[in-house]
Amino acid sequence: MNRIIMAIVASATLIWTGCGSHSGHDHGEHAAESHEEHGDYRHEAGETHGQESDVHGADSAEGVHGDGIILAPEQARAAGVTVETIAPSDFQAAFRVSGQILAGQGAEQTVAATADGIVNFTNSSIVEGTPVGSGQTIATLSSKNLQSGDALTKARAAYDAALSDYERAKKLVADRIISEKDYVQARLSFETARATYEGLAGNATSSGTAVKASAGGYVKSLLVRQGDYVNMGQPIAVITQNRRLQLRADVPANRIAVLPNIKGANFRQAGSDKVHRLSDLHGRMVSYGRAVNDGAAFVPVTFELDNVGDILSGAFAEVWVLSSVRSGVLALPVEALTEECGIKYIYVQVEPDVYQKREVRTGENDGRRVEILSGLHAGERVVTRGAVKVKIASMSASIPTHNHNH
Protein backbone atom coordinates (compact mmCIF):
# COMPACT_ATOMS: atom_id res chain seq x y z
CA MET A 1 0.00 0.00 0.00
CA ASN A 2 2.82 2.37 0.88
CA ARG A 3 4.42 1.71 -2.49
CA ILE A 4 1.20 2.53 -4.27
CA ILE A 5 0.85 5.84 -2.35
CA MET A 6 4.44 6.82 -3.09
CA ALA A 7 3.94 6.09 -6.78
CA ILE A 8 0.85 8.29 -6.91
CA VAL A 9 2.70 11.19 -5.19
CA ALA A 10 5.62 10.89 -7.59
CA SER A 11 3.35 10.88 -10.60
CA ALA A 12 1.52 13.99 -9.31
CA THR A 13 4.81 15.77 -8.79
CA LEU A 14 5.93 15.08 -12.32
CA ILE A 15 2.63 16.24 -13.74
CA TRP A 16 2.70 19.49 -11.68
CA THR A 17 6.28 20.20 -12.67
CA GLY A 18 5.49 19.69 -16.30
CA CYS A 19 2.40 21.92 -16.18
CA GLY A 20 4.36 24.61 -14.41
CA SER A 21 7.17 24.68 -16.93
CA HIS A 22 4.75 24.51 -19.76
CA SER A 23 2.67 27.24 -18.26
CA GLY A 24 5.68 29.42 -17.77
CA HIS A 25 6.77 28.81 -21.32
CA ASP A 26 3.32 29.63 -22.61
CA HIS A 27 3.14 32.74 -20.43
CA GLY A 28 6.45 33.95 -21.76
CA GLU A 29 5.39 33.37 -25.31
CA HIS A 30 2.05 35.07 -24.69
CA ALA A 31 3.75 37.95 -22.95
CA ALA A 32 6.13 38.40 -25.83
CA GLU A 33 3.32 38.18 -28.33
CA SER A 34 1.27 40.57 -26.23
CA HIS A 35 4.19 42.95 -26.02
CA GLU A 36 4.69 42.80 -29.76
CA GLU A 37 0.99 43.31 -30.38
CA HIS A 38 0.86 46.25 -27.95
CA GLY A 39 3.98 47.68 -29.47
CA ASP A 40 2.46 47.48 -32.91
CA TYR A 41 -0.80 48.97 -31.54
CA ARG A 42 1.03 51.80 -29.90
CA HIS A 43 2.96 52.43 -33.06
CA GLU A 44 -0.23 52.43 -35.13
CA ALA A 45 -2.02 54.52 -32.52
CA GLY A 46 0.83 57.02 -32.58
CA GLU A 47 0.55 57.30 -36.32
CA THR A 48 -3.24 57.65 -36.07
CA HIS A 49 -3.00 60.20 -33.27
CA GLY A 50 -0.55 62.18 -35.37
CA GLN A 51 -3.00 62.10 -38.25
CA GLU A 52 -5.81 63.24 -35.92
CA SER A 53 -3.60 66.01 -34.56
CA ASP A 54 -3.03 67.18 -38.08
CA VAL A 55 -6.77 67.22 -38.63
CA HIS A 56 -7.30 69.13 -35.36
CA GLY A 57 -4.63 71.55 -36.47
CA ALA A 58 -6.54 72.11 -39.68
CA ASP A 59 -9.73 72.64 -37.65
CA SER A 60 -8.05 75.18 -35.39
CA ALA A 61 -7.47 77.47 -38.33
CA GLU A 62 -11.20 77.39 -38.97
CA GLY A 63 -12.54 78.09 -35.48
CA VAL A 64 -11.23 75.74 -32.75
CA HIS A 65 -8.28 76.83 -30.61
CA GLY A 66 -8.16 74.70 -27.47
CA ASP A 67 -11.20 75.91 -25.55
CA GLY A 68 -11.29 79.17 -27.55
CA ILE A 69 -13.33 80.28 -30.54
CA ILE A 70 -11.54 81.61 -33.59
CA LEU A 71 -13.16 84.62 -35.27
CA ALA A 72 -11.01 86.82 -37.48
CA PRO A 73 -11.25 90.57 -36.77
CA GLU A 74 -12.65 91.28 -40.24
CA GLN A 75 -15.32 88.60 -39.73
CA ALA A 76 -16.17 90.05 -36.32
CA ARG A 77 -16.60 93.52 -37.79
CA ALA A 78 -18.79 92.16 -40.60
CA ALA A 79 -20.96 90.37 -38.02
CA GLY A 80 -21.38 93.52 -35.92
CA VAL A 81 -19.40 92.17 -32.97
CA THR A 82 -18.44 94.88 -30.48
CA VAL A 83 -15.93 94.31 -27.68
CA GLU A 84 -15.53 96.55 -24.63
CA THR A 85 -13.14 96.62 -21.69
CA ILE A 86 -15.21 96.17 -18.55
CA ALA A 87 -14.67 98.40 -15.52
CA PRO A 88 -16.64 98.88 -12.28
CA SER A 89 -19.36 101.53 -12.57
CA ASP A 90 -22.49 102.85 -10.89
CA PHE A 91 -25.56 100.63 -11.08
CA GLN A 92 -29.10 101.36 -9.92
CA ALA A 93 -30.89 98.71 -7.92
CA ALA A 94 -33.89 97.53 -9.91
CA PHE A 95 -36.82 95.14 -9.82
CA ARG A 96 -39.21 94.19 -12.60
CA VAL A 97 -43.00 94.64 -12.49
CA SER A 98 -45.87 94.90 -14.94
CA GLY A 99 -47.54 98.16 -15.90
CA GLN A 100 -49.47 100.13 -18.49
CA ILE A 101 -48.98 103.26 -20.58
CA LEU A 102 -51.78 105.81 -20.11
CA ALA A 103 -52.71 109.16 -21.58
CA GLY A 104 -51.62 112.17 -19.55
CA GLN A 105 -54.17 114.09 -17.53
CA GLY A 106 -55.94 116.71 -19.64
CA ALA A 107 -54.40 115.38 -22.84
CA GLU A 108 -57.61 113.78 -24.10
CA GLN A 109 -60.88 115.30 -25.25
CA THR A 110 -64.14 113.49 -25.97
CA VAL A 111 -66.04 114.70 -29.02
CA ALA A 112 -69.80 114.40 -28.51
CA ALA A 113 -72.77 114.60 -30.86
CA THR A 114 -74.18 118.13 -31.16
CA ALA A 115 -77.59 116.88 -32.36
CA ASP A 116 -79.61 113.75 -32.97
CA GLY A 117 -78.92 112.14 -36.32
CA ILE A 118 -77.14 109.62 -38.54
CA VAL A 119 -73.33 109.71 -38.38
CA ASN A 120 -71.53 110.45 -41.63
CA PHE A 121 -67.74 110.75 -41.29
CA THR A 122 -66.25 113.45 -43.51
CA ASN A 123 -64.02 110.95 -45.32
CA SER A 124 -62.82 107.39 -45.04
CA SER A 125 -59.43 108.57 -43.74
CA ILE A 126 -60.93 109.35 -40.34
CA VAL A 127 -59.67 106.30 -38.49
CA GLU A 128 -57.83 105.67 -35.26
CA GLY A 129 -54.46 107.41 -35.40
CA THR A 130 -55.55 110.09 -37.88
CA PRO A 131 -54.17 113.56 -37.01
CA VAL A 132 -56.83 116.26 -36.62
CA GLY A 133 -56.66 119.99 -36.05
CA SER A 134 -58.51 122.12 -33.56
CA GLY A 135 -61.97 122.93 -34.94
CA GLN A 136 -61.69 120.36 -37.76
CA THR A 137 -64.96 118.67 -38.77
CA ILE A 138 -64.83 114.96 -38.06
CA ALA A 139 -68.38 113.97 -39.04
CA THR A 140 -71.81 115.36 -39.82
CA LEU A 141 -75.15 114.34 -38.31
CA SER A 142 -78.15 114.22 -40.62
CA SER A 143 -81.77 113.88 -39.49
CA LYS A 144 -83.60 114.98 -42.67
CA ASN A 145 -84.91 111.54 -43.49
CA LEU A 146 -85.85 110.62 -39.93
CA GLN A 147 -89.43 110.49 -38.72
CA SER A 148 -88.62 113.00 -36.00
CA GLY A 149 -87.64 115.54 -38.66
CA ASP A 150 -84.63 117.73 -39.23
CA ALA A 151 -83.18 119.04 -35.98
CA LEU A 152 -82.18 122.42 -37.36
CA THR A 153 -85.61 123.01 -38.90
CA LYS A 154 -87.32 122.15 -35.64
CA ALA A 155 -84.96 124.35 -33.67
CA ARG A 156 -85.65 127.30 -35.98
CA ALA A 157 -89.41 126.82 -35.62
CA ALA A 158 -89.14 126.63 -31.82
CA TYR A 159 -86.96 129.72 -31.82
CA ASP A 160 -89.41 131.73 -33.93
CA ALA A 161 -92.33 130.71 -31.71
CA ALA A 162 -90.46 131.57 -28.52
CA LEU A 163 -89.41 134.92 -29.97
CA SER A 164 -93.01 135.76 -30.81
CA ASP A 165 -94.25 134.80 -27.34
CA TYR A 166 -91.50 136.80 -25.72
CA GLU A 167 -92.26 139.96 -27.75
CA ARG A 168 -95.93 139.70 -26.86
CA ALA A 169 -95.17 139.09 -23.19
CA LYS A 170 -93.09 142.26 -23.04
CA LYS A 171 -96.11 144.30 -24.15
CA LEU A 172 -98.56 142.51 -21.88
CA VAL A 173 -96.45 142.85 -18.77
CA ALA A 174 -96.07 146.57 -19.47
CA ASP A 175 -99.88 146.92 -19.52
CA ARG A 176 -100.11 144.75 -16.39
CA ILE A 177 -102.20 142.17 -18.28
CA ILE A 178 -99.87 139.27 -17.33
CA SER A 179 -97.86 138.78 -14.23
CA GLU A 180 -94.15 139.31 -13.90
CA LYS A 181 -93.81 135.54 -13.41
CA ASP A 182 -95.38 134.78 -16.80
CA TYR A 183 -93.11 137.29 -18.44
CA VAL A 184 -90.00 135.72 -16.92
CA GLN A 185 -91.14 132.28 -18.10
CA ALA A 186 -91.62 133.58 -21.66
CA ARG A 187 -88.17 135.12 -21.64
CA LEU A 188 -86.62 131.90 -20.34
CA SER A 189 -88.28 129.87 -23.10
CA PHE A 190 -87.00 132.31 -25.68
CA GLU A 191 -83.39 132.22 -24.42
CA THR A 192 -83.42 128.43 -24.38
CA ALA A 193 -84.80 128.18 -27.90
CA ARG A 194 -82.30 130.74 -29.17
CA ALA A 195 -79.35 128.87 -27.63
CA THR A 196 -80.47 125.61 -29.22
CA TYR A 197 -81.00 127.14 -32.61
CA GLU A 198 -77.74 129.11 -32.67
CA GLY A 199 -75.82 126.07 -31.52
CA LEU A 200 -77.20 124.02 -34.40
CA ALA A 201 -76.98 126.85 -36.92
CA GLY A 202 -73.31 127.45 -36.09
CA ASN A 203 -72.49 123.87 -37.07
CA ALA A 204 -74.95 123.60 -39.93
CA THR A 205 -73.69 122.36 -43.30
CA SER A 206 -75.37 121.26 -46.50
CA SER A 207 -75.10 117.63 -45.35
CA GLY A 208 -76.18 118.11 -41.72
CA THR A 209 -74.84 119.27 -38.37
CA ALA A 210 -71.05 119.23 -38.14
CA VAL A 211 -69.19 117.56 -35.28
CA LYS A 212 -65.84 119.29 -34.71
CA ALA A 213 -62.72 118.45 -32.73
CA SER A 214 -62.37 120.74 -29.76
CA ALA A 215 -58.58 120.35 -29.71
CA GLY A 216 -55.86 119.23 -32.08
CA GLY A 217 -54.20 115.85 -31.76
CA TYR A 218 -54.78 112.30 -32.94
CA VAL A 219 -57.90 110.18 -33.07
CA LYS A 220 -57.35 107.72 -30.23
CA SER A 221 -60.61 105.84 -30.68
CA LEU A 222 -63.84 106.03 -32.66
CA LEU A 223 -66.84 105.16 -30.51
CA VAL A 224 -69.41 104.89 -33.32
CA ARG A 225 -69.42 103.63 -36.90
CA GLN A 226 -70.49 105.11 -40.20
CA GLY A 227 -74.30 105.18 -40.41
CA ASP A 228 -74.95 104.78 -36.68
CA TYR A 229 -77.74 106.80 -35.08
CA VAL A 230 -76.71 108.96 -32.12
CA ASN A 231 -78.46 111.21 -29.65
CA MET A 232 -77.31 114.68 -28.72
CA GLY A 233 -74.44 114.46 -26.24
CA GLN A 234 -73.46 110.91 -27.12
CA PRO A 235 -69.62 110.43 -27.38
CA ILE A 236 -68.40 109.91 -30.95
CA ALA A 237 -64.60 109.93 -30.70
CA VAL A 238 -61.69 110.53 -28.32
CA ILE A 239 -58.93 112.92 -29.40
CA THR A 240 -55.56 112.72 -27.69
CA GLN A 241 -52.77 115.25 -27.93
CA ASN A 242 -50.34 112.40 -27.32
CA ARG A 243 -47.59 114.74 -26.16
CA ARG A 244 -47.33 113.69 -22.54
CA LEU A 245 -48.00 110.16 -21.32
CA GLN A 246 -48.17 108.41 -18.00
CA LEU A 247 -46.62 105.09 -17.06
CA ARG A 248 -48.29 103.19 -14.25
CA ALA A 249 -46.20 100.49 -12.57
CA ASP A 250 -47.96 97.92 -10.39
CA VAL A 251 -45.51 97.35 -7.53
CA PRO A 252 -46.14 94.33 -5.23
CA ALA A 253 -47.30 95.35 -1.79
CA ASN A 254 -44.33 93.60 -0.16
CA ARG A 255 -42.04 96.23 -1.73
CA ILE A 256 -43.91 99.21 -0.34
CA ALA A 257 -40.91 100.09 1.86
CA VAL A 258 -38.77 100.96 -1.20
CA LEU A 259 -41.32 103.34 -2.75
CA PRO A 260 -39.86 106.52 -1.19
CA ASN A 261 -36.46 105.64 -2.71
CA ILE A 262 -37.64 105.24 -6.30
CA LYS A 263 -35.49 107.31 -8.67
CA GLY A 264 -36.92 106.40 -12.08
CA ALA A 265 -37.77 103.53 -14.38
CA ASN A 266 -36.98 101.76 -17.62
CA PHE A 267 -39.79 100.18 -19.59
CA ARG A 268 -40.60 98.18 -22.71
CA GLN A 269 -44.07 98.24 -24.17
CA ALA A 270 -45.69 94.98 -25.20
CA GLY A 271 -44.74 93.83 -28.69
CA SER A 272 -41.52 95.86 -28.78
CA ASP A 273 -37.87 94.93 -28.19
CA LYS A 274 -36.83 98.49 -27.36
CA VAL A 275 -36.25 99.39 -23.72
CA HIS A 276 -36.91 103.08 -23.04
CA ARG A 277 -35.12 104.93 -20.27
CA LEU A 278 -37.41 107.38 -18.47
CA SER A 279 -34.63 109.91 -18.03
CA ASP A 280 -34.23 110.11 -21.82
CA LEU A 281 -37.91 111.10 -22.17
CA HIS A 282 -37.89 113.96 -19.63
CA GLY A 283 -39.68 111.58 -17.30
CA ARG A 284 -40.31 111.90 -13.60
CA MET A 285 -42.22 110.11 -10.89
CA VAL A 286 -45.57 111.80 -10.23
CA SER A 287 -46.84 109.84 -7.24
CA TYR A 288 -47.12 106.46 -5.58
CA GLY A 289 -49.81 104.84 -3.48
CA ARG A 290 -49.57 105.29 0.28
CA ALA A 291 -51.82 102.37 1.12
CA VAL A 292 -53.18 99.14 -0.31
CA ASN A 293 -56.89 98.82 -1.01
CA ASP A 294 -58.76 95.90 0.51
CA GLY A 295 -57.86 92.73 -1.35
CA ALA A 296 -55.34 94.48 -3.60
CA ALA A 297 -51.87 92.99 -4.07
CA PHE A 298 -50.23 95.94 -5.82
CA VAL A 299 -49.45 99.59 -5.16
CA PRO A 300 -49.63 101.93 -8.19
CA VAL A 301 -46.58 104.06 -8.97
CA THR A 302 -47.17 106.71 -11.64
CA PHE A 303 -44.50 108.26 -13.87
CA GLU A 304 -44.88 111.00 -16.50
CA LEU A 305 -42.92 111.13 -19.75
CA ASP A 306 -42.75 112.62 -23.24
CA ASN A 307 -44.09 110.57 -26.12
CA VAL A 308 -41.33 110.04 -28.69
CA GLY A 309 -43.80 108.86 -31.33
CA ASP A 310 -43.54 105.08 -30.98
CA ILE A 311 -45.19 104.73 -27.57
CA LEU A 312 -48.85 103.79 -27.65
CA SER A 313 -51.29 104.98 -25.03
CA GLY A 314 -53.16 102.02 -23.54
CA ALA A 315 -50.39 99.48 -24.22
CA PHE A 316 -49.23 97.16 -21.47
CA ALA A 317 -45.57 97.39 -20.50
CA GLU A 318 -42.76 95.62 -18.69
CA VAL A 319 -41.30 98.05 -16.14
CA TRP A 320 -37.98 98.01 -14.28
CA VAL A 321 -38.34 100.27 -11.24
CA LEU A 322 -35.04 101.93 -10.29
CA SER A 323 -34.04 102.91 -6.77
CA SER A 324 -30.74 103.51 -4.97
CA VAL A 325 -27.41 103.71 -6.82
CA ARG A 326 -24.58 101.29 -6.01
CA SER A 327 -21.00 101.95 -7.06
CA GLY A 328 -18.22 99.58 -8.09
CA VAL A 329 -20.53 97.14 -9.87
CA LEU A 330 -19.49 95.05 -12.87
CA ALA A 331 -22.39 95.16 -15.32
CA LEU A 332 -22.91 94.25 -18.95
CA PRO A 333 -25.54 95.14 -21.54
CA VAL A 334 -28.37 92.61 -21.64
CA GLU A 335 -27.44 91.61 -25.20
CA ALA A 336 -23.96 90.56 -24.03
CA LEU A 337 -25.39 87.42 -22.42
CA THR A 338 -26.51 84.18 -24.02
CA GLU A 339 -28.36 81.40 -22.27
CA GLU A 340 -28.28 77.62 -22.49
CA CYS A 341 -30.44 75.41 -20.27
CA GLY A 342 -30.89 78.26 -17.81
CA ILE A 343 -27.16 78.98 -17.54
CA LYS A 344 -25.85 82.42 -18.56
CA TYR A 345 -22.72 82.78 -20.69
CA ILE A 346 -20.56 85.61 -21.97
CA TYR A 347 -17.75 85.68 -24.52
CA VAL A 348 -14.39 87.10 -23.42
CA GLN A 349 -11.82 88.19 -26.00
CA VAL A 350 -8.50 86.60 -24.99
CA GLU A 351 -6.69 87.32 -28.27
CA PRO A 352 -7.56 89.64 -31.16
CA ASP A 353 -9.09 86.67 -32.96
CA VAL A 354 -9.81 84.28 -30.06
CA TYR A 355 -12.87 84.33 -27.79
CA GLN A 356 -13.58 82.26 -24.72
CA LYS A 357 -17.06 81.15 -23.68
CA ARG A 358 -17.51 81.66 -19.95
CA GLU A 359 -20.29 80.91 -17.50
CA VAL A 360 -21.36 83.81 -15.27
CA ARG A 361 -23.72 84.33 -12.37
CA THR A 362 -25.97 87.37 -12.69
CA GLY A 363 -27.61 89.69 -10.18
CA GLU A 364 -30.06 92.54 -10.70
CA ASN A 365 -31.29 93.58 -14.13
CA ASP A 366 -32.53 97.09 -14.99
CA GLY A 367 -33.78 96.11 -18.44
CA ARG A 368 -30.70 97.52 -20.16
CA ARG A 369 -27.77 96.22 -18.08
CA VAL A 370 -27.21 93.14 -15.95
CA GLU A 371 -25.11 92.92 -12.81
CA ILE A 372 -22.40 90.21 -12.99
CA LEU A 373 -21.73 88.56 -9.62
CA SER A 374 -19.10 86.01 -10.69
CA GLY A 375 -17.27 84.81 -13.79
CA LEU A 376 -15.95 88.22 -14.87
CA HIS A 377 -13.08 90.42 -13.74
CA ALA A 378 -12.46 94.12 -14.23
CA GLY A 379 -10.23 94.89 -17.22
CA GLU A 380 -11.37 91.94 -19.31
CA ARG A 381 -12.62 92.53 -22.82
CA VAL A 382 -16.14 91.21 -23.35
CA VAL A 383 -18.39 90.96 -26.40
CA THR A 384 -21.18 93.44 -25.65
CA ARG A 385 -22.87 93.27 -29.05
CA GLY A 386 -23.07 90.36 -31.41
CA ALA A 387 -22.68 87.66 -28.74
CA VAL A 388 -25.15 85.50 -30.62
CA LYS A 389 -22.93 85.71 -33.72
CA VAL A 390 -19.95 84.46 -31.70
CA LYS A 391 -22.11 81.67 -30.31
CA ILE A 392 -23.10 80.63 -33.83
CA ALA A 393 -19.42 80.68 -34.86
CA SER A 394 -18.56 78.36 -31.95
CA MET A 395 -21.36 75.97 -32.88
CA SER A 396 -20.30 75.78 -36.53
CA ALA A 397 -16.67 75.29 -35.51
CA SER A 398 -17.57 72.32 -33.29
CA ILE A 399 -18.94 70.25 -36.19
CA PRO A 400 -16.61 67.23 -36.57
CA THR A 401 -14.48 67.25 -39.70
CA HIS A 402 -12.23 64.27 -38.89
CA ASN A 403 -11.74 61.63 -41.57
CA HIS A 404 -10.41 58.37 -40.07
CA ASN A 405 -9.28 55.48 -42.27
CA HIS A 406 -9.13 52.16 -40.48
DSSP H or E run through 371: strand 369-374
Q: Is the pLDDT of residue 58 over 70?
A: no
Which pTM value belongs to this model? 0.56
Q: Is the pLDDT of residue 312 over 70?
A: yes
Q: Which CATH number applies to 67-88+330-397?
A: 2.40.420.20
- The fold of the 109-240 domain, in CATH, is OB fold (Dihydrolipoamide Acetyltransferase, E2P) (2.40.50)
Span 316-333, average pLDDT: 94
Q: State the pLDDT at residue 320.
A: 96
- 3-class DSSP state of 44: helix
* Distance, CA of 26 to CA of 32 (rounded, Å): 10
Q: Which amino acid is at 182?
A: D
Taking Cα atoms as reference points, which of 321, 340, 319, 328 lies closest to residue 373?
328
| Four-residue CA torsion sign, 198, 202, 205, 211 | negative
Enumerate residues 6+ apart whose C-beta is below 8 A from 146. 116, 117, 118
Extended strands (E) in 104-166: 108-112, 117-121, 131-132, 137-142
Span 250-264, average pLDDT: 89
Q: Which amino acid is at 404?
A: H
* Distance, CA of 21 to CA of 79 (rounded, Å): 75
Q: Is the pLDDT of residue 42 over 50?
A: no
Tens of pLDDT, residue by residue over 174-202, are 888 888 899 899 999 999 988 888 877 76
Extended strands (E) in 217-337: 217-222, 229-230, 235-240, 244-252, 264-269, 276-277, 284-288, 298-306, 316-329, 331-333
* Distance, CA of 219 to CA of 209 (rounded, Å): 20
Q: Is the pLDDT of residue 53 over 60?
A: no
pLDDT tier for residue 2 given thresholds of 50, 70 and 90:
very low
Q: State the pLDDT at residue 317.
A: 96
Cβ neighbours, 10 Å, residue 338:
16
* Distance, CA of 127 to CA of 130 (rounded, Å): 6
Enumerate residues 6+ apart whose C-beta is below 8 A from 173. 179, 180, 182, 183
CATH 2.40.30.170 assigned to 95-104+243-324? yes
Q: State the pLDDT at residue 280.
A: 92
* Distance, CA of 15 to CA of 23 (rounded, Å): 12
Q: Give me the residue spans of the domains in the chain.
A: 1-60, 67-88+330-397, 95-104+243-324, 109-240
DSSP H or E run through 350: strand 343-351
Tens of pLDDT, residue by residue over 100-123, are 999 877 677 889 888 888 888 887
Q: Are 217 and 240 in contact (CB under 8 A)?
A: yes
